[in-house]
Amino acid sequence: MTDPFFFPAFEPVSAAAITEWVGGDLAGGPASATITGVAPLEDASSGDLVFFDNTKYLDALSDTQAAACLVAKKHAAKVPEGVAAIVVDQPYKAWGIVLGKLYPTAMRPHSLDGTIAGISPRASVDETASLEQGVVVEHGAIVGPGVEIGAGSLIQANAVLGAGVRIGRNSTVGANAVVQHALIGDRVILHPGVCIGQDGFGFAMGPGGHLKVPQIGRVIIQDDVEIGANTTVDRGANRDTVIGEGTKIDNQVQIGHNVVIGRHCVIVSQVGISGSATLEDYVAIGGQSGVRGHVTVGMGAQIAAVSVVEADVPAGARYGGVPAKPVKVWFREVKTLSKLAERGLGARDKD
C-alpha cells in the first residue's frame, strides 16, 4: 500500500492494544508485536497490520510478512507463524474500528482550502443566515437567506445552500454540492457534487406538449446519513422525499420525488429509484438496479445488482433479475435458459 501521507501518521501501537480495541483474542504470535502501519496482505511488511476476510486471498495470507492479522477463528490456523493472529467475529468490521482509531481524520471530510475555523472572506453568507459556533464555510461557498447551520458543520468550497435550508450539527456539505428545499440532520455527509432538493421529474404529458407540474415538497435527510459523490435527490412533488437515519448511499444514485427510504438502508452506485417508491428499514440494493415508482420494498429485503424491481417485494426477501423475482426462481430461470441455449447451439452444429 502506498504510504497514506494524506493522513497524519499514528503513534506505534501494540497488537495487544489492538486486540483490546476490537474485543478479540490473540491466538498466536507475539502480543508485544508493534504496529507501525497498515497494508493489504500481499504488500505487508514487518510492522504492518492486515486483515483476512475472503478465501480468495488464502495464498496471500499464507505468504504475508505482516506483524499482525485480524482474522476469523475458522481461519486463524492459516496465519503464518510469527504473525500475531487477532481473532474476531467480523474481521472487516474490526478493520474499520482499528482504522478509525489510527486515522481519525479519515472518518469525515475536512477543510479543502486550509480554513481552520469561521467563514472564508471569499465565501458569500447572507446576513440573515444563522451559523452556530465552529461552522466553517470555505472559499466560493454560497449560504443563502435564512439558512441555518449547526455547530461544527463544514461547508466546502463552492457549495451552494439555497434559501431556508437547514443543516444540523457536525455535518458536511461537499465541494460543488447544491442543497435547496431541504432539512438535513446531524452528522450527515454529502460528498462533492451531490445535488439535493431540485425539481422532481413532474410533467402532465400529452400530444400537444408536456405541462410542467410544480414540485412543492421538501427533502428530509435524517441523522447519520452519508450520500456519495454526484448523487441526486429530488424534492417531493406534493409531499416530502425522505431518507431515514443511518442510510448509506453510494455515488451516482438517482432518487426521485416523494421517495421514502427507511433507516439504515444501503444503496449501491448507479441505482435509480423512481418517484413515490418506498424502501422500508434495512433494505439493500445492488449497483445498477432500478426501482419502479409507487412500489414498496419491504423491511430487510435485498435486491441483487443489475435488477429491475417492478412490483412490491416482501420483507426479508432476496430478489434479483429483470424483472426482479425471488433469487431461487431467478437462478432456476438462468440455469434453464443456459441449458436451452446449449442444446440449440449443439443442434445447429450438427446441421
Does a cis peptide bond (omega within 30 degrees of 0) precede residue 323?
yes
Write down the residue that cell numbers 452444429 correspond to.
Answer: 349
Residue 112 pLDDT grade (very low, low, confident, very high; cuts 50, 70, 90): confident
pLDDT at 114: 73
pLDDT at 52: 97
Residue % of the chain over a pLDDT of 70: 96
Given 75, 181, 191, 257, the catalytic residue:
257
pLDDT at 343: 81
Is 75 noted as a catalytic residue in this protein?
no
Q: How far apart are CA 105 and CA 101, in angstroms?
A: 9
Domains of the chain: 13-106 (3.40.1390.10), 118-328 (2.160.10.10)
Note the pTM of the prediction, 2 decimals. Answer: 0.92
Convert the pLDDT of each residue in 162-217 to its tens digit.
999 999 999 999 999 999 999 999 999 999 999 999 999 999 999 999 999 999 99
Q: Which H helix or E strand runs over 198?
A: none
Convert the pLDDT of each residue in 127-158 to its tens digit.
999 999 999 999 999 999 999 999 999 999 99
* Per-residue b or e along 265-283, where b marks 16 or more CB atoms closer than 10 Å to that residue's CB: bebbbbbbbbbbbbbbbbb
Judge whether 144 and 163 are in contact, CB under 8 Å: yes
Provide CB contacts within 8 A for 109, sequence distance 6+. 154, 156, 172, 174, 189, 191
Res 351 pLDDT > 80: no
Q: What is the mean pLDDT of the chain?
A: 94
Residue 28 pLDDT grade (very low, low, confident, very high; cuts 50, 70, 90): confident
